[in-house]
Amino acid sequence: MTNEFFLEAGLPYLGIDYGMASTFRFNTTVLSRRDGQEQRVANWQSPLFEGNLGDRTLTETELTQLLGFFRDRQGPVQGWRLRDWSDYQLKNELQGFGNGFRTQFPLIKRYNLAGLMFIRHITKPDLRNCVVMLNGVRMRNWRLRLSTGLLEFFQPPPSGASVTVSCSFSVPVRFVSDEFPGAKLEARNGNESLYSVGPVPVREIRLPQSRGYLQGAENSEPELDVGVDIEEELAPQSFTNLSQSANGWERREPLNPFQRRVIRTAARVIDDTELNYYLRFFRTRLGQWRPFRIKDVTTGGDLVCRFSSDSFPQTEFLAYDGNQALWNFAGFEIITLPLEFPTETFFRIARPEDFA
C-alpha cells in the first residue's frame, strides 16, 4: 500500500465499471414559506459524482479483482480514478485562445443550453488518444498533467489561435464504506462461479482544481421536453394558518391558495443524444436551484417548475444500438412553483455569511 492518498489508476478493466449505476448531486438549501413561495440557496456550484459498483452478479475472477482493489485502497482511505461512462469525453472542446505568452490551459468541458453555460474543470484526463489542436491543426509541442488536467505548451500559442482538445477523462473517487458487502454464491458456470454482490458505493472526491461555475443570462427559463409519459399528483398543501389560544379561541388566516403539483416522468430507455440533453439541462439548472418551464399536458400552457432533488436521476448502461449507447434512465420528479414569485429573489448563490 502506497502512502499517497490518491492512486492515478483505476479498476482492473473487467467491465466492472461499465454497467454501474451512476448519478451526480448538487447541494441546495430550500427555504419554503407557508403560502408556497420559496427561496433557494445554491451551496455548491459544482456537483459530486456518485456510483454503485455492486448490486449485480460477478464472476469469481471479477469479485476477486474488486475485493483485492478494495483492500489495496483500504476502503475509503485512498482515492482512485473511475470512468463515468455516461459522460467521459471531450470532443474537439474549445479550451481558450492564445495571446502570445500564455502557455497553460486548464482542461474544461462546457455544457450549453438556452443561453446558459456550465463550465466543468477536468482534473483526471486520460492521455491515450488525446488530440490537441491549434486552429484545427494537430500539435505535438505540449504536455498534459494527468493529476491536475493542466495542458501546457512548450511555446505559447499565437494571439487569437484557438486551442481545442479531444480526449477521455475519469472522475476522482473513493469507496464510501469501510466494509465490503457480502457475496453470495448463486451458480457455477463451467470453471467459474457466479456471485451476487451487495452495493459497493463510490463517491467523487472534491479536488481544489475541480471547481465548476455557471455563466449566462440570469433570467434564463428554458423549457424541458419531458415527453408525454408522465404522471402527476397534487402535493399536500395548507390554505389556512390556524392558531389557537389556551382558552379555545381560534385565529384563522387565509394563505395564498397555491396548489403545488408534483410531476414525474416515466423511467425509460434513452439513447446518448437524450442523455446528453438531460445532463446539460440538469447541470445548467444546478439541480433544484434554477427554475424552468414545461408544457402542461392538460391545458397546453406553461408551468414554472424546479427539480425536486439535487441528484441527477440514476443512469445505468444497457446496451449498444448501432453507434448509440442505450441507458436505463430513472426519470425526473418536478415540482411546480407560483408564477407570481419574483424571479430576481427566486434563487441565489450561497454567500460566506450563510455558513457563519
Residue ranges covered by each domain of the chain: 89-169
Q: Greater confidence, 132 or 243? A: 132
Give the side-chain half-sphere CA count within 13 A for 104: 5
Q: What is the phi/psi pair of residue 95, to 5°?
A: -105, -15
* 1 band by pLDDT with thresholds 50, 70 and 90: very low
- CA 183 to chain centroid, in Å, comes to 29
d(C-alpha 165, C-alpha 87), whole Å: 16
Tally of helices (H runs) and strands (E runs) in the chain? 2, 32
d(C-alpha 30, C-alpha 310), whole Å: 11
The residues pairing with 351 across neighbouring beta strands, listed in sequence order, are none
- Which residue intervals of the chain are DSSP H helices? 60-72, 272-285
DSSP letter at 53 equals S
Q: What is the CA radius of gyration of the chain?
A: 24
How does pLDDT run across 197-250, given as a tens digit for each residue?
Answer: 889 999 999 988 777 777 766 556 677 776 545 555 555 555 566 677 777 777
The residues pairing with 214 across neighbouring beta strands, listed in sequence order, are 118
pLDDT tops 60 at residue 70: yes
pLDDT tops 80 at residue 22: yes
Q: pLDDT exceeding 90 applies to what percent of the chain?
A: 38
Q: What is the pLDDT of residue 254?
A: 60
Q: Which of 286, 276, 295 is nearest to 224 (CA)?
A: 295
The residues pairing with 101 across neighbouring beta strands, listed in sequence order, are none
Q: How many other C-beta atoms lie within 10 A of the C-beta of residue 346?
A: 20
Cell numbers at 6, concatenated: 490518491
* 303 band by pLDDT with thresholds 50, 70 and 90: confident
* Mean pLDDT for all residues in the chain: 82
DSSP letter at 339 equals T
d(C-alpha 231, C-alpha 17), whole Å: 32
In this structure, are residues 337 and 291 in contact, taking their beta carbons and an 8 Å threshold?
yes
DSSP letter at 352 equals G
| SS3 label, residue 68 | helix
Q: pTM to 2 decimals?
A: 0.81
- CA 221 to chain centroid, in Å, comes to 20
How does pLDDT run across 240-290, given as a tens digit for each residue?
Answer: 666 777 777 777 666 555 677 888 888 889 999 899 999 999 998 999 988
102-139 burial code (b ≥16 CB/10 A, e <16): eeebbbbbebebeebebbbbbbbbbeeebebbbeeeeb
Q: What is the pLDDT of residue 128?
A: 86
Q: How many other C-beta atoms lie within 10 A of the C-beta of residue 144?
A: 18
Tell me which amino acid residue 103 is: T
For residue 143, give every residue at least 6 positions away whose Cβ sits within 8 Å of its Cβ, in sequence order, or none: 151, 152, 154
In this structure, are residues 103 and 153 in contact, taking their beta carbons and an 8 Å threshold?
yes
Angle 235-236-241 (CA atoms, 0-180°, nearest 5)?
A: 135
**Which runs of E-coded beta strand occur in 208-249?**
212-216, 230-234, 240-244
How does pLDDT run across 181-195, given as a tens digit for each residue?
Answer: 888 888 887 788 888
